[in-house]
Structure 1
Protein backbone atom coordinates (compact mmCIF):
# COMPACT_ATOMS: atom_id res chain seq x y z
CA UNK A 1 0.00 0.00 0.00
CA UNK A 2 1.38 3.35 -1.04
CA UNK A 3 0.14 6.86 -0.35
CA UNK A 4 -1.05 7.33 -3.94
CA UNK A 5 -3.11 4.12 -3.62
CA UNK A 6 -5.20 5.66 -0.81
CA UNK A 7 -8.06 7.06 -2.87
CA UNK A 8 -11.78 7.18 -2.05
CA UNK A 9 -14.06 4.44 -3.34
CA UNK A 10 -15.64 5.04 -6.74
CA UNK A 11 -18.97 6.80 -6.29
CA UNK A 12 -18.28 7.85 -2.70
CA UNK A 13 -18.99 11.42 -1.64
CA UNK A 14 -17.33 13.75 0.80
CA UNK A 15 -19.72 15.22 3.37
CA UNK A 16 -20.55 18.90 2.95
CA UNK A 17 -18.93 21.47 5.19
CA UNK A 18 -21.25 22.58 8.01
CA UNK A 19 -20.39 26.19 8.61
CA UNK A 20 -21.69 28.47 11.38
CA UNK A 21 -22.28 25.62 13.86
CA UNK A 22 -19.97 26.71 16.64
CA UNK A 23 -16.28 26.79 17.45
CA UNK A 24 -15.97 23.01 17.78
CA UNK A 25 -16.99 22.50 14.14
CA UNK A 26 -13.93 24.50 13.02
CA UNK A 27 -16.00 26.92 10.91
CA UNK A 28 -17.75 28.94 13.59
CA UNK A 29 -19.27 32.44 13.60
CA UNK A 30 -17.64 33.92 10.50
CA UNK A 31 -17.68 30.59 8.63
CA UNK A 32 -14.11 30.94 7.33
CA UNK A 33 -14.82 34.20 5.51
CA UNK A 34 -12.88 36.47 7.87
CA UNK A 35 -14.13 39.42 9.86
CA UNK A 36 -15.80 42.01 7.63
CA UNK A 37 -15.83 43.34 4.11
CA UNK A 38 -17.34 42.63 0.73
CA UNK A 39 -15.96 39.09 0.57
CA UNK A 40 -17.53 38.09 3.89
CA UNK A 41 -21.12 39.01 3.03
CA UNK A 42 -23.85 36.59 2.09
CA UNK A 43 -24.37 36.19 -1.64
CA UNK A 44 -20.91 37.59 -1.59
CA UNK A 45 -18.96 36.81 -4.73
CA UNK A 46 -18.62 39.51 -7.34
CA UNK A 47 -18.76 38.66 -11.00
CA UNK A 48 -15.52 37.77 -12.82
CA UNK A 49 -13.65 40.89 -13.93
CA UNK A 50 -15.29 43.17 -11.32
CA UNK A 51 -12.80 45.76 -10.03
CA UNK A 52 -14.79 47.45 -7.29
CA UNK A 53 -16.55 49.89 -9.60
CA UNK A 54 -13.40 50.94 -11.46
CA UNK A 55 -13.72 50.54 -15.22
CA UNK A 56 -12.67 46.87 -15.63
CA UNK A 57 -9.78 45.81 -17.82
CA UNK A 58 -11.95 44.08 -20.41
CA UNK A 59 -13.72 47.41 -21.02
CA UNK A 60 -10.64 49.66 -20.81
CA UNK A 61 -8.39 47.85 -23.27
CA UNK A 62 -10.48 47.87 -26.49
CA UNK A 63 -10.56 51.67 -26.39
CA UNK A 64 -6.85 51.74 -27.22
CA UNK A 65 -5.44 51.71 -30.75
CA UNK A 66 -4.74 48.66 -32.89
CA UNK A 67 -7.60 46.50 -31.66
CA UNK A 68 -9.35 44.48 -34.32
CA UNK A 69 -13.04 44.97 -34.94
CA UNK A 70 -15.09 42.04 -33.71
CA UNK A 71 -17.44 40.58 -36.34
CA UNK A 72 -15.95 42.73 -39.08
CA UNK A 73 -17.34 42.48 -42.59
CA UNK A 74 -15.18 40.75 -45.19
CA UNK A 75 -15.47 41.86 -48.81
CA UNK A 76 -14.20 40.65 -52.15
CA UNK A 77 -12.52 43.80 -53.42
CA UNK A 78 -11.68 45.03 -56.89
CA UNK A 79 -10.25 48.33 -58.07
CA UNK A 80 -11.72 50.50 -60.83
CA UNK A 81 -8.50 50.11 -62.87
CA UNK A 82 -9.11 46.34 -63.11
CA UNK A 83 -12.53 46.97 -64.71
CA UNK A 84 -10.86 49.00 -67.50
CA UNK A 85 -10.21 45.91 -69.66
CA UNK A 86 -13.91 44.90 -69.82
CA UNK A 87 -15.91 45.82 -72.96
CA UNK A 88 -18.25 48.81 -72.81
CA UNK A 89 -21.81 48.20 -71.59
CA UNK A 90 -20.88 45.08 -69.62
CA UNK A 91 -22.95 44.20 -66.56
CA UNK A 92 -20.38 43.71 -63.80
CA UNK A 93 -21.27 41.39 -60.89
CA UNK A 94 -19.24 39.16 -58.59
CA UNK A 95 -20.09 36.10 -60.68
CA UNK A 96 -19.18 37.79 -63.98
CA UNK A 97 -15.80 38.90 -62.57
CA UNK A 98 -15.05 35.35 -61.42
CA UNK A 99 -15.94 34.01 -64.89
CA UNK A 100 -13.81 36.66 -66.60
CA UNK A 101 -10.84 35.73 -64.41
CA UNK A 102 -10.46 39.20 -62.89
CA UNK A 103 -11.15 37.68 -59.46
CA UNK A 104 -9.87 34.31 -58.30
CA UNK A 105 -11.72 33.82 -55.00
CA UNK A 106 -15.08 34.75 -53.52
CA UNK A 107 -14.24 36.22 -50.10
CA UNK A 108 -17.69 37.67 -49.53
CA UNK A 109 -19.81 40.43 -51.07
CA UNK A 110 -18.26 42.62 -53.79
CA UNK A 111 -16.82 46.03 -52.91
CA UNK A 112 -15.46 48.34 -55.61
CA UNK A 113 -12.50 50.54 -54.69
CA UNK A 114 -11.46 53.72 -56.49
CA UNK A 115 -7.80 53.10 -57.34
CA UNK A 116 -6.90 53.89 -60.96
CA UNK A 117 -8.81 55.38 -63.90
CA UNK A 118 -11.83 54.17 -65.87
CA UNK A 119 -12.86 55.24 -69.36
CA UNK A 120 -15.38 52.48 -70.18
CA UNK A 121 -19.10 52.80 -69.40
CA UNK A 122 -20.08 49.82 -67.23
CA UNK A 123 -23.15 48.77 -65.28
CA UNK A 124 -21.70 47.71 -61.92
CA UNK A 125 -23.66 45.79 -59.29
CA UNK A 126 -21.92 45.54 -55.91
CA UNK A 127 -22.65 45.54 -52.19
CA UNK A 128 -20.44 48.58 -51.52
CA UNK A 129 -18.66 51.35 -53.43
CA UNK A 130 -16.12 53.84 -52.18
CA UNK A 131 -16.99 57.46 -52.94
CA UNK A 132 -14.08 57.69 -55.42
CA UNK A 133 -15.08 54.51 -57.23
CA UNK A 134 -18.69 55.63 -57.60
CA UNK A 135 -17.61 59.01 -58.95
CA UNK A 136 -15.22 57.46 -61.51
CA UNK A 137 -17.77 54.90 -62.77
CA UNK A 138 -20.46 57.56 -63.21
CA UNK A 139 -17.98 60.00 -64.79
CA UNK A 140 -17.16 57.34 -67.40
CA UNK A 141 -20.89 57.07 -68.26
CA UNK A 142 -21.58 53.93 -66.25
CA UNK A 143 -24.00 53.22 -63.42
CA UNK A 144 -23.65 51.88 -59.88
CA UNK A 145 -26.31 49.61 -58.37
CA UNK A 146 -26.21 48.61 -54.69
CA UNK A 147 -27.04 44.97 -54.09
CA UNK A 148 -28.18 44.18 -50.55
Structure 2
Protein backbone atom coordinates (compact mmCIF):
# COMPACT_ATOMS: atom_id res chain seq x y z
CA UNK A 1 0.00 0.00 0.00
CA UNK A 2 2.74 2.51 0.85
CA UNK A 3 4.49 1.73 -2.46
CA UNK A 4 1.39 2.97 -4.30
CA UNK A 5 1.38 6.17 -2.26
CA UNK A 6 5.07 6.71 -2.99
CA UNK A 7 4.40 6.11 -6.68
CA UNK A 8 1.55 8.65 -6.53
CA UNK A 9 3.91 11.20 -4.95
CA UNK A 10 6.61 10.65 -7.53
CA UNK A 11 4.22 10.74 -10.46
CA UNK A 12 2.58 13.90 -9.10
CA UNK A 13 5.96 15.59 -8.77
CA UNK A 14 6.81 14.54 -12.32
CA UNK A 15 3.59 16.05 -13.71
CA UNK A 16 4.00 19.33 -11.80
CA UNK A 17 7.61 19.53 -12.97
CA UNK A 18 6.59 18.85 -16.56
CA UNK A 19 3.87 21.53 -16.50
CA UNK A 20 6.36 23.95 -14.98
CA UNK A 21 8.96 23.20 -17.65
CA UNK A 22 6.42 23.55 -20.46
CA UNK A 23 5.26 26.87 -19.03
CA UNK A 24 8.85 28.05 -18.64
CA UNK A 25 9.61 27.03 -22.23
CA UNK A 26 6.50 28.84 -23.50
CA UNK A 27 7.13 31.86 -21.27
CA UNK A 28 3.72 31.43 -19.63
CA UNK A 29 2.74 30.96 -15.96
CA UNK A 30 0.90 27.67 -16.43
CA UNK A 31 1.99 26.28 -13.08
CA UNK A 32 -0.68 27.27 -10.57
CA UNK A 33 -1.06 26.37 -6.88
CA UNK A 34 -4.46 24.80 -7.56
CA UNK A 35 -2.86 22.18 -9.82
CA UNK A 36 -1.04 20.58 -6.88
CA UNK A 37 -4.20 19.40 -5.12
CA UNK A 38 -5.67 18.36 -8.48
CA UNK A 39 -2.78 16.07 -9.42
CA UNK A 40 -2.59 14.74 -5.85
CA UNK A 41 -6.25 13.79 -6.04
CA UNK A 42 -5.87 12.18 -9.47
CA UNK A 43 -2.83 10.14 -8.41
CA UNK A 44 -3.74 9.20 -4.85
CA UNK A 45 -7.51 8.73 -5.20
CA UNK A 46 -8.10 7.71 -8.82
CA UNK A 47 -11.44 6.10 -8.01
CA UNK A 48 -13.11 9.31 -6.82
CA UNK A 49 -15.42 11.11 -9.25
CA UNK A 50 -13.58 14.38 -8.48
CA UNK A 51 -10.43 12.81 -9.97
CA UNK A 52 -11.99 12.19 -13.38
CA UNK A 53 -11.23 14.51 -16.31
CA UNK A 54 -14.76 15.89 -16.59
CA UNK A 55 -14.73 16.99 -12.96
CA UNK A 56 -11.22 18.46 -13.28
CA UNK A 57 -12.00 20.42 -16.44
CA UNK A 58 -15.52 21.55 -15.55
CA UNK A 59 -14.62 22.29 -11.92
CA UNK A 60 -11.69 24.53 -12.82
CA UNK A 61 -13.65 26.20 -15.65
CA UNK A 62 -16.45 27.04 -13.25
CA UNK A 63 -13.92 28.23 -10.65
CA UNK A 64 -12.21 30.48 -13.18
CA UNK A 65 -15.51 31.90 -14.40
CA UNK A 66 -16.77 32.46 -10.84
CA UNK A 67 -13.57 34.28 -9.92
CA UNK A 68 -13.79 36.52 -12.98
CA UNK A 69 -17.45 37.36 -12.37
CA UNK A 70 -16.77 38.09 -8.71
CA UNK A 71 -13.85 40.49 -9.29
CA UNK A 72 -15.83 42.48 -11.83
CA UNK A 73 -19.09 42.52 -9.84
CA UNK A 74 -17.33 43.68 -6.67
CA UNK A 75 -14.86 46.00 -8.37
CA UNK A 76 -11.93 44.06 -6.88
CA UNK A 77 -10.18 44.06 -10.26
CA UNK A 78 -9.08 47.63 -9.47
CA UNK A 79 -7.53 46.64 -6.12
CA UNK A 80 -3.98 45.34 -5.78
CA UNK A 81 -3.34 41.63 -5.51
CA UNK A 82 -3.38 40.38 -1.94
CA UNK A 83 0.06 38.81 -2.41
CA UNK A 84 1.58 41.85 -4.09
CA UNK A 85 0.23 44.43 -1.66
CA UNK A 86 0.44 42.21 1.41
CA UNK A 87 -2.98 43.62 2.27
CA UNK A 88 -6.57 42.50 1.99
CA UNK A 89 -9.19 44.98 0.79
CA UNK A 90 -12.90 44.72 1.45
CA UNK A 91 -13.53 44.33 -2.29
CA UNK A 92 -11.15 41.33 -2.37
CA UNK A 93 -12.95 39.81 0.65
CA UNK A 94 -16.30 40.27 -1.09
CA UNK A 95 -14.91 38.84 -4.34
CA UNK A 96 -13.51 35.80 -2.54
CA UNK A 97 -16.76 35.05 -0.75
CA UNK A 98 -18.87 35.58 -3.86
CA UNK A 99 -16.50 33.56 -6.05
CA UNK A 100 -16.45 30.53 -3.75
CA UNK A 101 -20.24 30.60 -3.39
CA UNK A 102 -20.73 30.86 -7.16
CA UNK A 103 -18.16 28.17 -7.91
CA UNK A 104 -19.57 25.67 -5.45
CA UNK A 105 -23.09 26.31 -6.68
CA UNK A 106 -21.96 25.89 -10.29
CA UNK A 107 -20.20 22.63 -9.51
CA UNK A 108 -23.32 21.27 -7.81
CA UNK A 109 -25.53 22.27 -10.75
CA UNK A 110 -23.05 20.80 -13.26
CA UNK A 111 -22.61 17.67 -11.13
CA UNK A 112 -18.86 18.17 -11.41
CA UNK A 113 -17.48 18.59 -7.91
CA UNK A 114 -13.72 19.21 -7.83
CA UNK A 115 -12.67 20.79 -4.51
CA UNK A 116 -9.19 21.87 -5.73
CA UNK A 117 -10.94 24.20 -8.19
CA UNK A 118 -11.85 26.42 -5.24
CA UNK A 119 -8.17 27.35 -5.13
CA UNK A 120 -8.41 28.51 -8.75
CA UNK A 121 -11.42 30.59 -7.76
CA UNK A 122 -9.50 32.25 -4.96
CA UNK A 123 -6.42 32.83 -7.11
CA UNK A 124 -8.57 35.00 -9.36
CA UNK A 125 -10.60 36.64 -6.60
CA UNK A 126 -7.51 37.57 -4.58
CA UNK A 127 -5.59 38.87 -7.58
CA UNK A 128 -2.92 36.21 -8.11
CA UNK A 129 -4.38 35.62 -11.58
CA UNK A 130 -5.11 38.76 -13.57
CA UNK A 131 -8.76 39.00 -14.68
CA UNK A 132 -7.75 39.28 -18.34
CA UNK A 133 -7.84 37.03 -21.39
CA UNK A 134 -4.12 36.35 -20.90
CA UNK A 135 -4.65 35.43 -17.23
CA UNK A 136 -7.59 33.18 -18.06
CA UNK A 137 -5.65 31.54 -20.89
CA UNK A 138 -2.80 30.68 -18.52
CA UNK A 139 -5.23 29.00 -16.15
CA UNK A 140 -6.89 27.10 -19.00
CA UNK A 141 -3.54 25.84 -20.33
CA UNK A 142 -2.39 24.68 -16.90
CA UNK A 143 -5.68 22.92 -16.25
CA UNK A 144 -5.67 21.22 -19.67
CA UNK A 145 -2.16 19.94 -19.03
CA UNK A 146 -2.92 18.64 -15.55
CA UNK A 147 -6.13 17.02 -16.79
CA UNK A 148 -4.31 15.22 -19.60
CA UNK A 149 -1.22 14.12 -17.67
CA UNK A 150 -3.28 13.44 -14.56
CA UNK A 151 -5.67 11.21 -16.46
CA UNK A 152 -2.76 9.02 -17.59
CA UNK A 153 -1.59 8.73 -13.99
CA UNK A 154 -5.15 8.18 -12.71
CA UNK A 155 -5.62 5.24 -15.09
CA UNK A 156 -2.23 3.82 -14.19
CA UNK A 157 -2.94 4.09 -10.46
CA UNK A 158 -6.46 2.67 -10.86
CA UNK A 159 -5.01 -0.50 -12.42
CA UNK A 160 -2.46 -0.96 -9.64
Return the TM-score normalized by structure 1.
0.22
Higher relative contact order (CA 8 A, sep 6+): 2
Larger radius of gyration: 1
Structure with the higher fraction of residues in strand conformation: 1
Structure with the higher fraction of residues in helix conformation: 2
Return the TM-score normalized by structure 2.
0.21
